[in-house]
Chains A and B, each alone.
Chain A
């Protein structure tokens, strides 16, 4: 039976009130769904970033579960250590054989696409049994909007700003979900806060996977994307409708697209409400708008081709 939102509200929160995240931030929305997707207790390692900083200002904590932060680039290797100790103590009989614990690492795109990619790749290759969740808001938001390798083509970031001679970032995004799928892990997926049930189902599959699993969740960020905070979920939906952020999953190597818009919207609709793309609508920058549309189309077409024939 499909899970209902009202059932989820009855589950005890593992990320509780009192955190200091921005009004309209996507992070708590995402994690409140994910953390409900397993009945087993969860231990999580958190990379340095918005989620870590906003939830644990000593002496307070918003974590109603066991949680560790050690540094920026090593959430995956830190949780690998916790998981290794679990296996060791279980084998030695210090943890009961039937005691199930889920292990999870969390990081933003800075801590995942950039500085933490090596540790993530290593931990996944070694087969540690954990779920890595990247909340991808396309930017180093915790430190005020610097570019990452997830910052999209044409966006303005403080370390890659638009200016008289720049139409914003000239590189496209690193395709991390595919990179993680290429590790041949049991489960990798992209999700969005616009589709809570899809996100829940993916988190459930990730927790149930026998081996490392990777979830890449688009995270709406009113502060750095510069839009009216009340329209975040609508904006996330626009990303799906314009195929800017496709929902798909890779299960045992098979690609499946979970949402195909009936009518693909122009990328302009997604770009327009966001201040980080404002400069693109100035004279002389139309070429970048074209380039972005072309880029989105190319990636979407490629994804359609990658989808397993059986599920088409």
Chain B
């Protein structure tokens, strides 16, 4: 039965996992995603999930168990954060390279050093070339909805690529919201049966998984892997529409907020988008024609759609909750600026790094950005291309 439940972000991932009931779950606890693993363990102890739950001795082994299990022909999930994801790094590429549709809930958290347990996107952004699909969630409801859709996307025969579902550490993982939890049977119906392609447990066909690939084949195999994630946009779109028709909450590549007549825009992912929308409302009342665009899908990057949505702006500020030391701008900024390059008419694009290590971002900070964009709109001049928000510089 569908119900409204007070759940925090971690609980929504655990709840969705219980409903999907993967064949194997392998996860290692780490702040702030520990509660996902604990809740799943409790579900298992209470007989509410039928799949095997493995709690290995490290995240590296957790992802290795996922890889072994997924190669054995069933549905697999895990969850982690920060250093845990970093420890999995080697295995992330292998999961994607072997085309295993593993789904991972990531309570996004800063990376050491200095050690910090709070939310930023350094962990998944650090794994952005690992071949995984990235979905990001603004709130608990989106985390729940994204997590369910992730199985459909990952397991689609044209895609067969693992998926991260990001939710901001503490800000979402530990905040309780009222979440629409769908009916167990409806969720199972939406997900459908798992279809193994090659399985180690299929004794009628002997297979060698993960052979050594030299100069004569490696390149072609990597190319075919890339094709999987290139096929993902059509599937993400279809699954998002179908999710809307089934459960009443449709999803696309990004959300546009008050963008219809906007002349400037702020681009921001995940939980900060909520604060950003409040700031846009206030700035609108003050007479600024400003909107907000919240990316949901970072890999594959929906560059054409994103550029179409932003090309008519006069100025755009891209806010990144991760840095890319030494690069010309942070990850989201470089994607968006790159996507707009071929348009004759395009906005000025600036970048702010914000919220590293969980530093709060408030309405006043977004308003600061709005004022900066308005100045650029009026003068056409960019004083500083890449800067920081809410940071003590001295």
B206 interfacial by beta-carbon distance below 8 Å = yes
Residues of B within 8 A of A88 (CB): 23-24, 50-52, 69, 74
Q: Of A70, A78, A81, A119, which contacts B57 at CB under 8 A?
A: A119
Contact of B65 among A81, A87, A89 (CB under 8 A): A81
Please indicate the chain A residues that have their CB under 8 angstroms from the CB of B56 in the complex: 77, 80, 119, 122-123, 126
Query: Could you say which of B54, B90, B94, B210 contacts A84, with CB atoms under 8 Å apart?
Result: B54
B211, CB-defined interface residue at 8 Å: yes
Q: Which of B52, B54, B58, B212 contacts A118 (CB 8 A)?
A: B58
Closest residue of chain B to A63 (Cβ to Cβ) is: B208
User: In the bound complex, how far is the Cα of B212 from the Cα of A67, in angstroms?
Assistant: 13
Interface residues on A, range: 35 or more
The answer on a CB contact under 8 Å between A84 and B24 is yes
Shortest B371–chain A CB gap in Å is 50
Chain A residues, Cβ within 8 Å of B57: 118-119, 121-122, 125
B26 cross-chain contacts in A, Cβ below 8 A: 81, 84
Closest A residue to B200 using CB positions: A66
A79, CB-defined interface residue at 8 Å? yes
Asked whether, in the complex, the Cβ of A84 is within 8 Å of the Cβ of B209, the reply is: no
Interface-facing stretch out of A50-58, A106-114, A241-249, A283-291: A50-58
Interchain CB contact under 8 A, A85 and B60: no
Inter-subunit contact A81/B212 (CB<8 Å): no
Task: Please state if A71 and B72 are interface contacts (CB–CB under 8 Å).
Answer: no
B64:A119 contact, CB within 8 angstroms:
yes
Quick one: CB contact mask for A161-179 with B, threshold 8 Å, 1 for yes? 0000000000000000000
Among residues 36 to 87 in chain B, which have CB atoms less than 8 Å away from a CB atom of chain A?
Answer: 50-52, 54-58, 60-62, 64-74, 76
| Chain A residues with CB below 8 A from B52, complex form | 84-85, 87-88
| Contacting pair A74 B71 (CB below 8 A) | no
Known: A58-B211, A81-B64, A118-B61. A66 touches B94 (CB 8 A): no
Interface size on B, residues (CB 8 A): 44
Question: Is B213 an interface residue when CB atoms closer than 8 A count as contact?
Answer: yes
Closest to A80 in B: B65
Contact B211 A71 (CB under 8 A): no
Known: A78-B68, A101-B203, A122-B56. A61 touches B24 (CB 8 A): no
Determine if B50 and A91 form an interchain contact, defined as CB atoms under 8 angstroms apart. yes
B68: which of A59, A81, A91 is its contact (CB, 8 Å)?
Answer: A81
Residues of A contacting B208 in the complex (Cβ-Cβ under 8 angstroms): 56, 61, 63, 66-68
Q: Tell me which residues across on chain B come within 8 A of A76, comparing CB atoms.
A: 61
Q: Does B14 contact A (CB under 8 A)?
A: no
Separation of A58 and B236 alpha carbons in the complex (Å): 33
- B211 touching A82, Cβ below 8 Å: no
Q: At the interface, yes or no: B98 with Cβ under 8 Å from chain A?
A: yes
**Residues of chain B from 155 to 177 with CB closer than 8 A to chain A in the complex:** none
| A53, B54: Cα distance in complex, Å | 29
Q: Is the CB of A4 closer than 8 A to any CB of chain B?
A: no
Q: Which of A70, A85, A89, A122 has the most CB of B within 10 A?
A: A85
Which residues of chain B have C-beta atoms less than 8 A from A71's C-beta? Answer: 64, 90-91, 94
Query: Residue-by-residue, is A123-158 near B (CB-CB < 8 Å gives 1, otherwise 0)?
Result: 101100000000000000000000000000000000
Q: Do B200 and A89 have beta carbons less than 8 Å apart?
A: no
Question: Does A64 touch B at the CB level, under 8 Å?
Answer: yes
Contact B65 A70 (CB under 8 A): no
A41 to B56, CA, bound (A): 26
B185 within 8 A of A: no
Q: In the complex, what's the smallest C-beta–C-beta distance from B88 to chain A, in angstroms?
A: 11
Q: Let me know if A300 is at the binding interface, CB within 8 A.
A: no
Q: How far is the CA of A81 from the CA of B24 in the complex (A)?
A: 8
Q: List 22 A-B contacts (CB under 8 A).
A: A53-B212, A56-B210, A58-B213, A59-B211, A61-B208, A63-B206, A66-B200, A70-B98, A73-B60, A80-B68, A82-B68, A83-B68, A84-B26, A84-B68, A85-B74, A85-B76, A88-B24, A101-B201, A119-B60, A121-B57, A122-B58, A123-B61
Sorted nearest first, the 8 A-B pairs with minimum C-beta distance are A81-B68, A122-B57, A85-B72, A56-B211, A77-B64, A81-B69, A77-B61, A81-B65
Known: A71-B91, A85-B68. 16 other contacts (CB 8 A): A43-B201, A53-B212, A57-B211, A66-B201, A66-B202, A68-B208, A69-B211, A71-B94, A77-B68, A81-B68, A85-B52, A85-B76, A88-B51, A88-B52, A88-B74, A89-B72
